Amino acid sequence: MSLAAFNTGGTHNTVLVDVDNATGFTITVAASATPQVVTDALFTEKKNNTNGGITFAAGVATVATPAGIGRYAVCASLGDALGVLSTFHFVQVYAKEAGVAAAVKGSKALRTEGAAAVRGSTGVAIAIVDLSAVGDTVEMRLGVQTNGNAILIRSAALELVKIGEV
């Protein structure tokens, strides 16, 4: 077995984007069939040691230079989210790999709201993505059960950690 596929030393490429704000922001998802990118002025990049390999803007992490190409473990989480009573909402990782249109990757984290409004965690969606070309992307998307439902987000995070080469 070759070790060439493993990142065996040095600093791992890491990108962390998050929000932790008492007021938060609201995302209204227009269509239940089309999860929406989680983005807001409060949802900002906190760490990026990719030396320009990956950039983050408008909720999307994009491979900007060949230094950002690689296989990444991706975690997307809503730590404090409040939805519409007696419905569900979820978070998923979407990625554009090898220039192909963005598609769902990995697991979905789902939360069902009770009959009374209660703040709580939606959970963590996890995926492994192969970003093999400049322009490939990763994003966290929010989905809902019913068209037009709004979710108040007070804490969330999107984390990419390079785990190997593609």
Please name each of the domains of the chain with its CATH number: 14-164 (2.60.120.40)
Six token digits for residue 159? 């984390």
**What pLDDT does 116 receive?**
74
Per-residue pLDDT of the chain (166 residues), as tens digits, is: 444 444 445 567 899 999 999 999 999 999 998 999 999 999 999 999 999 999 999 999 999 999 999 999 999 999 888 888 878 899 999 999 999 999 999 889 988 888 777 778 888 999 999 999 999 999 999 999 989 999 999 999 999 999 977 6
pTM: predicted TM-score of the whole model, two decimal places: 0.88
Q: How far apart are CA 75 and CA 125, in angstroms?
A: 6
**What pLDDT does 127 receive?**
96
**What pLDDT does 120 receive?**
80
Six token digits for residue 89? 């909402």
**What pLDDT does 166 receive?**
64
**What pLDDT does 97 receive?**
95
**What pLDDT does 96 receive?**
96
